[in-house]
Structure 1
């Protein structure tokens, strides 16, 4: 049993650098979104809360929720490979 624990630990240790590399590489559309947020909304992106790629009617779709360094949050989306993202400020909603 102790042998299995050591083997599992070794496998996880070897896989850690691969996971770090995968997380550090951003898709090209994220770089475009960073640029557009800075240009159109004076938002330096601090981090992404959610990113999603999909397909709708044969076209690629891109969605993201991001937070600016100043604390504002935006939902951004784009359908297709070209054109600018639509970004909407996330505001507090009350019922």
Structure 2
């Protein structure tokens, strides 16, 4: 074989090795970016779920008028300005039954 043919053959072999290494590096980096994005989105989803659950736990309880709370205690505060007289009388009648 001629010297020129050997030079071209080893040059092609070296170029192939270099291209293969570069191609593998680019595939690994794109895969790593996809995995990072997937993990990031999953963590964001978990954080949002945690925030929603926390908001459910910490949302202010809706308070009803004083008549139902006074029924529980057994007495009605007749001086309360938010007292619903109809509900208070209904609750007193319901307790009698």
TM-score by length of structure 1 reads: 0.34
TM-score by length of structure 2 reads: 0.33
Larger Rg computed on CA atoms: 2
Query: Normalized per residue, which structure has more strand?
Result: 1
